[in-house]
Every structure is written in structure tokens, then in C-alpha cells.
Chain A
Amino acid sequence: MLPDRLRALFFRKDSVPPTDSAGRQGAQSVHRVIAPSRKPVPPAVRTSKGLEQFFFNIKDVVGLTILDMAGANQENITFLTNLGHRMYASDLVRSIEDTFGSDLAEQNNASRIEFFLQSNFNYLPDTFDGVMLWDGLQFMTPALLTATVDRLHMIMKPGAYLLAYFSANERTADVPAYTFRLLDDKTLQVTERGVRSSGQVFNNRNLEKTFTRFESVKFFLTRDNLREVIVRR
């Protein structure tokens, strides 16, 4: 059985939530969308160079351990397990909202950050051969992002790859979040699930600085203002 790190999501009555910056107890316990979509956007199918590169790097190998933070869905489970990999699943965006709520200032609260890391990244060092973070990192403030990336560096194996997406639109603070479903090794079905406040502006320089402890960072800038990033541990 998993340790207590994940308990808060489902069994809140039994968990001890961290205090907020004002010393109050009780984390945001509901899934909150800062700004819901104007109207439901139908799912779209798109190709992804970053995704293609990610799977190219791990092709012809079976039995890898992959962390998929898109939230569990049948497509990703089927695709990854059919490749012969063991996968770990959770929903990063949802967990950010459950832990910190809609107030970005809460993401600077050290006890909440630690709780968040324990809830989502409590794995042994060098556990993962690949991590698919999707678009979750772009909703983090610098303090939370730094702590999360440090933890990712620890739980990824040397030579492992990380896939992350960031909005390349620097003019707006609110960016849409998506669910990502794997259709094949370079094609995704993406569905918008609301608009959220971006924790900061992400450009190439920021991202290189963010992943400075990693061996390499590779960018793919798409025509629809998405920055796809492949990071090698």
C-alpha cells in the first residue's frame, strides 16, 4: 500500500492538512478552476514533436518506469502498458489546485510545498526512466517550481527524459489547461479543462535556468504558441 503521501486527495478527514501562510488549517479541498472555459471546447487532435522525441528516446526498450501526470485515462494506460512499460499515474494540475487553491501566493508556503511534494513525488531516488508532466509546471510560481524540479531531478534516473509543455504566449497571465491522451507516439488528443493563472512567464532562458541541473534541454516551439520541452536528466 502507498504511504500517507497521497491520502489527502481521497481521505481528507483522516489527513492532516498543512497550515496556510496565516497559520490556518485546512487546504483547499475541492477541485477549482480559476476561470472555467468560455464554452466547452471539443477535443482536438494534434501532433507533437516533443512527444515524438520523448518516445524516440525510449524506443526499443521495454520494462521502463514512466510517470504520467496527465491524470489516469484509458488511452495513456493502454498505450504505455502495450509498450511494455510500468506506469505511475496522477493528475498534476488537479493536485496543484487541491493543495494550493486558486491563490498563487499559497504556492510560496513552505509547508504546503512540502506537503505537495510528499503527495505527488514521494518516490525513491532514480525511480523513473521517463516523466510526462504535460502542462502542469506552467501553473507553478518560482518557489514551487524550483522545489518540484529539484525533486524531479532526484527521482529521475540519470539519462531519463522529461516532457513538459508551456504556453509561449507571454502577453497573458491566464492560460488554458488541457488533458492529454496518447493516440500514438506522436499524436495527442487534447481537451481544454479551463483557464488558469500562469505562475510566471516561461521563455527559453527561464526554462534553461529552471532545468540547469539537468544535462540538456531541448525546445520545440509550435505554431499555436506552445513550447514543448524535452529535458534529459
Chain B
Amino acid sequence: MNNIGKAVRVEGKIISREDIYVDGQVEGSIESPESKVTIGPNGRVKATVSAREVVIIGAVQGDVTATDKVDIRKDAQLEGNIGSARISIEDGAIFKGSIDIRKPEPKVAPAQTQQVFAPPIPIVTQAAPAPAAGPGIKR
């Protein structure tokens, strides 16, 4: 996990491929599309945050987008718009902004070989007529 400590201030764009924990100050943007971004209790973020999952314990001013979930904990402060498939907010959290629930698009199943069945053979229940007497087999 990447860690931005509480004594650190970052201005600019942060892109991470793994989970990132922000307990310092960030201005700009944070992107971690495949992972989780956590804003710690000392975190002061003025940035857009985009990730698979976003957990807010500190203060965020900016839009937050998550493909999976936004989790706003007690005592967190969020001022911005949320776009996420799921959202969780604890009592005591302060939030101002809009909430747009974005259901994930259903994954397209990989193409499978379709099993082809032969058409059913009709079952004839009617008694077949008795064969007419024919010439015998000559040897």
C-alpha cells in the first residue's frame, strides 16, 4: 500500500495501481481505478478522487467516483458529488453534494460453444399396418 503521511503535502495528480492511504494534504486529483483509496483521519484532500473503492475518514472537498463503493465514516466530511455503485454513510458524517448511484454494467459472458441437439425423433404410437403378403425370398 502507498502511504501519504500526515506531514506530507502533495499538489498534482496521483495515479496508483495499488491501494493508497492519504493521511496528509493533497490538492489535485487521485486515481486508483483498480484499487482502494483511503482518506485517513488527518487527511485533507481538495481533489477529485477516482478509484474502485473510496473510504473517507478525514475531509474531502471534491467529486468522488468509485466503481464499487464509497464509504463515508463517522466524523468524515465530504463536500462534493458522489458517483458510485454503492454508498455507505455513518451517522456523524457530514456530506454536502449529490449522489448518483451508477450500477455497474453487466459483464458480457465469454462466448461459449453452443451445444446443438439433434431434433427429436417423432415417436409414432400408431400401429403400423401389417405388411402385405409379398413374394418370398428365393434362394
B82 to chain A, nearest CB (A): 9
Q: Is B4 an interface residue (CB 8 A)?
A: no
Q: Report yes or no: A7 in contact with B61, Cβ–Cβ below 8 A.
A: yes
**Which of the four size classes fits the interface of chain A?**
20 to 34
How does the 8 Å CB contact mask read for A7-20 relative to B, with 1 for contact and 0 for none? 10111000000000
Partner of A81 from the list B81, B88, B101 (CB cut-off 8 Å) is B101
Identity of the chain B residue whose Cβ is nearest the Cβ of A91 in the assembled complex: B94
Partner of B59 from the list A10, A77, A90 (CB cut-off 8 Å) is A10
Determine chain B's interface SS by DSSP, over half rule: strand
Q: Is A216 an interface residue (CB 8 A)?
A: no
A1-B61, A1-B63, A10-B79 known; A88+B98 contact, CB < 8 A: yes
A2 partner residues in chain B, CB cutoff 8 A? 61, 63, 79-81, 96-97
**Which of the four size classes fits the interface of chain B?**
20 to 34
B:59-78 near A, CB below 8 Å: 59, 61-63, 72, 77
A1-B62, A74-B88, A74-B89 known; A81+B79 contact, CB < 8 A: no
A43 to chain B, nearest CB (A): 11
A:63-88 near B, CB below 8 Å: 71-74, 77, 81, 86-88
Count A/B pairs, Cβ under 8 Å.
Answer: 69
B83 to chain A, nearest CB (A): 10
A:175-229 near B, CB below 8 Å: none
Q: Report yes or no: B63 in contact with A89, Cβ–Cβ below 8 A.
A: no
Q: Is A131 an interface residue (CB 8 A)?
A: no
Identity of the chain A residue whose Cβ is nearest the Cβ of B97 in the assembled complex: A2
Determine chain A's interface SS by DSSP, over half rule: mixed
Q: Report yes or no: A89 in contact with B99, Cβ–Cβ below 8 A.
A: yes
B53 to chain A, nearest CB (A): 17
How does the 8 Å CB contact mask read for B89-113 relative to A, with 1 for contact and 0 for none? 1110111111111000000000000
Q: Is B38 an interface residue (CB 8 A)?
A: no
A87 partner residues in chain B, CB cutoff 8 A? 98-99
B93 partner residues in chain A, CB cutoff 8 A? 72
Q: Report yes or no: A86 in contact with B99, Cβ–Cβ below 8 A.
A: yes
Q: Is B35 an interface residue (CB 8 A)?
A: no
A30 to chain B, nearest CB (A): 13
Additional A-B contact list (7), CB under 8 Å, known A72-B72, A72-B94 = A6-B79, A11-B61, A71-B95, A77-B87, A77-B89, A81-B101, A89-B99
